Structure 1
Amino acid sequence: MTHHTPPADVDEAELARVKERYAAERAKRMRADGNAQYAELSGDYEEYDRDPWVEPGFTREPVVEEMDVLIVGGGYSGMLASVHLKRRGVTDFRIVEKAGDFGGTW
């Protein structure tokens, strides 16, 4: 499968403004404590660290296939990506999801 969209004309000054704005907005959200901001899921909260739809210890053999597109994540965005691919005639794709089912948290 080959699909190429030519790049749009880019206004370098506008691109610089967008990048600057993005960096400023990102800086507002970044925390110095990084991942340390999150609490350990233990005690009463330990159950939230497991997938209730998957048997504990479940494993299976790896799948080895070739396809045109691999979508990583079967949440809302992954499913939406598959819809757009199908609308464009792409049918040789797979969705890989680490949870026991697709759809994410919605």
Structure 2
Amino acid sequence: MAGTAEWRFAESAKAGRKIRISGRLWMNSLDALAVAAKEGAGIVRVSSWQVEADIGAGGLRRILADYEPPPTPLHLVFQPSRLASAKTRVFVDYLVERWRAIDPFGAHPGAAS
């Protein structure tokens, strides 16, 4: 049914719960949903990196932190070569620097301790 979706929450390493949600605002862009939440339209479920700055600045806050799914591994794969473009090298260096600042065991930047 249009306007209805399901969010899944982890209750433990082996168990979870599905919750049907509905709302008046639906978008196919998580960035747009995050902006809408920041403007007071409701809650949104997005990756922490998408809202890291807003959480740090106090524009958004995390809720239901106890039910967050485990982090999803993310890998950067590319062919290192002397023929690689400078843009590719700058992008790879940027990602490596950013990812080193994130706790590999799942702590989210800007999260309350």
Alignment TM-score, normalising by the size of structure 2? 0.23
**Larger fraction in helix:** 1
**Larger fraction in strand:** 2
Alignment TM-score, normalising by the size of structure 1? 0.24
Which one has the largest radius of gyration? 1
